[in-house]
């Protein structure tokens, strides 16, 4: 599969978004994906991004996570999207279907991560929009997420895509000696 970027001019190539099946179909990308996902996530956490880790995750932890998401995607219980610029991973995101029988019609948008060098290019919006479309196609009724309340950029993005806040736990997240609210957002896809 050719994932060479298309350009809007030499200075602004357009990233390519791959789904789990496309990623798995490219042996080179599939083999590199866990390490590249680790690089993106660890670099962001090191810089203080609110991704749920105090310290950068271990490579094995990210590899196990990727394996679990790809396995779930093969069964229709997840969607994964990877953003590439010239075959270099610059962002990723995924949702996972809830596992309880009473909640299987819903999914949790777990992570959207865009490398620092790609911020401000609309990649987070593209990843999230595409994952929402994937959820609609999978007949997900409600897509939920939670985030740290100080992650204003991400929360603005989610609201702009139709997510709305449905709950908040004050001072729930403890990190670096500080406390943050945990906010819960949802997007009702039944309408």
| Residue 6 belongs to a domain | no
CATH of the domain at 147: 3.40.630.30
| Contacts (Cβ under 8 Å, ≥6 apart) of 126 | 15, 17, 83
Q: What is the pLDDT of residues 142-159, one digit of tens each?
A: 999 999 999 999 999 999
Does any domain span residue 5?
no
Structurally, the chain folds into a number of domains equal to 1
Contact criterion met (CB below 8 Å) for 116 and 44 = yes
Inside any domain, residue 116: yes
| 16 located within any domain | yes
pLDDT at position 66, please?
A: 96
Q: What is the DSSP letter of 118?
A: G
Q: Does some domain include residue 144?
A: yes
Is 7 domain-assigned? Answer: no
* Containing structural domain, residue 184: 12-188
Residue 1 lies in a domain: no
pTM of the model: 0.91
**Residue numbers in the chain where pLDDT is lower than 70:** 1-12
Residue 4 lies in a domain: no
User: Which pLDDT value is given to residue 11?
Assistant: 61
């Amino acid at each position: 599969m050719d994932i060479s970027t298309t350009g809007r001019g030499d200075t602004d190539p357009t990233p390519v978004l791959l789904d789990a099946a496309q990623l798995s179909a490219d042996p080179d990308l599939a083999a590199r994906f866990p390490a590249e996902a680790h690089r993106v996530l660890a670099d962001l956490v090191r810089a203080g991004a609110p991704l749920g880790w105090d310290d950068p995750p271990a490579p094995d932890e990210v590899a196990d996570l990727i394996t679990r998401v790809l396995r779930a995607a093969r069964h229709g219980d997840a969607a994964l999207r990877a953003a590439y610029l010239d075959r270099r991973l610059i962002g990723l995101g995924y949702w996972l279907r809830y596992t309880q029988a009473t909640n299987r019609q819903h999914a949790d948008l777990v992570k959207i991560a865009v490398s620092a060098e790609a911020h401000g290019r609309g990649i987070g919006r593209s990843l999230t929009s595409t994952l929402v479309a994937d959820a609609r196609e999978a007949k997900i009724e409600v897509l939920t997420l939670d985030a740290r309340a100080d992650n204003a950029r991400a929360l603005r993005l989610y609201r702009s895509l139709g997510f709305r806040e449905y709950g908040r736990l004050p001072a729930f997240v403890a990190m670096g000696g500080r406390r943050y609210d945990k906010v819960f957002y949802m997007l009702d896809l039944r309408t």
